[in-house]
Structure 1
Amino acid sequence: MDNWEKLQQYKERLLQEKMEQKIKLTLEWEAEKERRKIEEEKLKQIKEENMKKHQEFLENLQKFMAGDSCEPPKELNYVCDTRPGAEMCTFFSKTATCRFGDQCSRNHQYPSISNVLLAKNFYAHFGLDNMFENNEYDADIMLEYDENETYKEFEEFFCDVLTEFEKFGKIVQFKVCKNYEKHLRGNTYIEYADLRCAVAAYRFLNSRWYGGRQLSLQFCNIRSWRNAICGLQAKQRCHKGRSCNFLHIFRNPNNLFSLQKLPEENYIPRRRTPPRSWRWSESPETEIPKDTKSSRESNDEEKKNRERRRSHKRKLRKD
């Protein structure tokens, strides 16, 4: 009898524990549902507030771009620091670039918007990429690509790109780098007189394609062009050569945008019909194959011209 009572008590205790566990789980589930509900409401509220702020931002940006507002949206007036509190990187402060990138131990400051746009490695040319190589193979190839030919291609680039950027407003400075260092080579700086123009150009041209390359624009600060540009480069006396971290720039046609403020009223950029590889586009373009026979004849003629130039330049070197 005692065993039976003990068994019944044990069963009742198990049942009681089971009911208590069930009630506990139910309460926990109800609490979890309530917590999720509150969290969803908070997220919904945050989302609505963010959408409202974004809408206000777009409206303020539109007013600023239309000239109805003198100041840009406050959301755009901020500076991003790579290493807050660290010493400022001297080269980045002057040229908006650094050979170490954002891995630099010093601080780089990126403005949210500014009058100056930077297109990194925008101008690309075989002569520019190989003019500083020293091996025999490259030296032989570079007989065909002296600085004059590289500059001739740059003139086409200058006229084509300047015309496109001028659609958005007055440009007060346009500089293209011919440095060897990768972080500077081909960098293109465009400074607008009006902040609105720079923002408009960024919104329209960023991520477009040009010459088979996707354009990546960023805003930057150039406080002084004279401090950014290598002062000895123009005189061909830069003792640092290809390791120089200041801007070595191409001379713009007719000295347009010269720091010496030379007359530029009579200058009209040449507008050529650019070859296919220099075209602007919304997406990458595929080259169209040329006629086989005409292409072969053209290649043969080009090979003869190259050989003549090589022979002539070798002769000049011997003399």
Structure 2
Amino acid sequence: MTNLYQNPEISRTYTNKRKHTTDVVLSNIPKEQVDSHFKEFYKDIFIESSLIGEIVEMTVCENHNDHLNGNVYIKFKNEESARKARDIFSTRWYDSKPVYCELSPVTDFRESCCRQHDENSCGRGGMCNFMHVKRPDKDLLNELQLSQRKYYEGKKEESRNQEESKSS
């Protein structure tokens, strides 16, 4: 989902009509406020997506450049869920903006991630062309994964019970 996460630390100004120039301005919003905003965003998208299909991985980019800024990549357990998510999200709005969702042929983003960013040493900063992944805290991630696991275990149990009642 392109440009879905709107990082409150970043604002943009488009200055030239002939050359699509972007000025990236970083605000002075307190880190706690940015972290809280991201936590709510991540939780919201994860929960909504997990109702469509089982999530294997969710990646949010915090780059400042136009082609990666705010992109969200969700790897589902199966392709059917990914197609269903694309169809559902492409008809929705989030944070007063339309959601642009497409399928990606890439199944492993490890080589696309900036290792230097993970070590807080990327010299290119937010304009790096490798993915600067914004990660949720471990407690939130564990909570969401546990909730998803319980949800899908319940669905499997429900499906088994329906099959048993049909065969009786």
TM over 0.5: yes
The Cα offsets for residues 236-290 of structure 1, whole Å up to 9 and x where unpaired, read as 1111112210100111231777xxxxx7787448xxxxxxxxxxxxxxxxxxxxx
1:151 to 25, 31, 35: 35
User: Does 2:136 align with 1:243?
Assistant: no
The superposition leaves residues 187-226 of structure 1 with CA deviations (integer Å, 9 ceiling, x where unpaired) of 0101101111111112222121111111111111224321
Mapping of residues 70-219 of structure 1, within 5 Å: 119-129=1-11, 133=25, 142-143=27-28, 145-219=29-103
The structure richer in helix per residue is 1
Q: Secondary structure at the match of 2:102?
A: strand
Structure 2 Cα separation of the partners of residues 251 and 207 of structure 1: 27
CA shift at 1:147, angstroms? Answer: 3.5
Instruction: Kindly state the Cα deviation for residue 234 of structure 1 after the two structures are TM-superposed.
Output: 1.4
Cα distance change, pair 185–266 in 1 and its aligned pair in 2 (3 A):
closer
Query: 1:55-66 maps to which residues of 2 (within 5 A)?
Result: none
Tell me the distance in 1 between the aligned counterparts of 2:45 and 2:144.
19
Distance, in Å, in 2 between the alignment partners of 1:148 and 1:175 is 21
Report % sequence identity: 26
Distance 1:244 1:125, change over 3 A: closer
Residue segments in structure 2 that go unaligned for 5+ positions in a row: 13-23, 149-168
CA distance in structure 1 between the partners assigned to 2:89 and 2:133 by the alignment: 23
Cα deviation per residue 1:30-81 (whole Å; 9 max; x = unaligned)? xxxxxxxxxxxxxxxxxxxxxxxxxxxxxxxxxxxxxxxxxxxxxxxxxxxx
Is 2:62–2:126's contact at 8 Å kept on the other side of the alignment?
A: no
Residues 175 and 189, structure 1, Cα contact 8 Å, conserved in 2 = yes
Residues in 1 aligned to 2:144 and 2:38: alpha-carbon distance in whole angstroms: 22
Query: Following superposition of structure 1 onto structure 2, how do residues 289-300 of structure 1 map, counting pairs within 5 Å?
Result: none
Which secondary structure does the structure 1 equivalent of 2:103 belong to?
A: strand
Secondary structure, counterpart of 2:49 in structure 1: helix
Return the letter of the residue paired with 2:4: F
Summarize the Cα distance change of 1:256–1:220 in structure 2 as closer, same or farther, 3 Å threshold.
farther
Q: Which amino acid aligns with 2:71?
A: N
Q: Which has the higher contact order (CA 8 A, sep 6+)?
A: 2
Distance 2:144 2:65 in 1: 34
CA distance in 2 between counterparts of 1:210 and 1:254 reads 25
Amino acid at match of 1:123: Y
Distance 1:129 1:178 in 2: 13
Matched position secondary structure for 2:116: coil
Cα distance change on mapping 1:266 and 1:189 into 2, 3 Å: closer
Higher strand share: 2
Task: Give the distance between the partners of 1:163 and 1:264, measured in 2 at CA.
Answer: 11
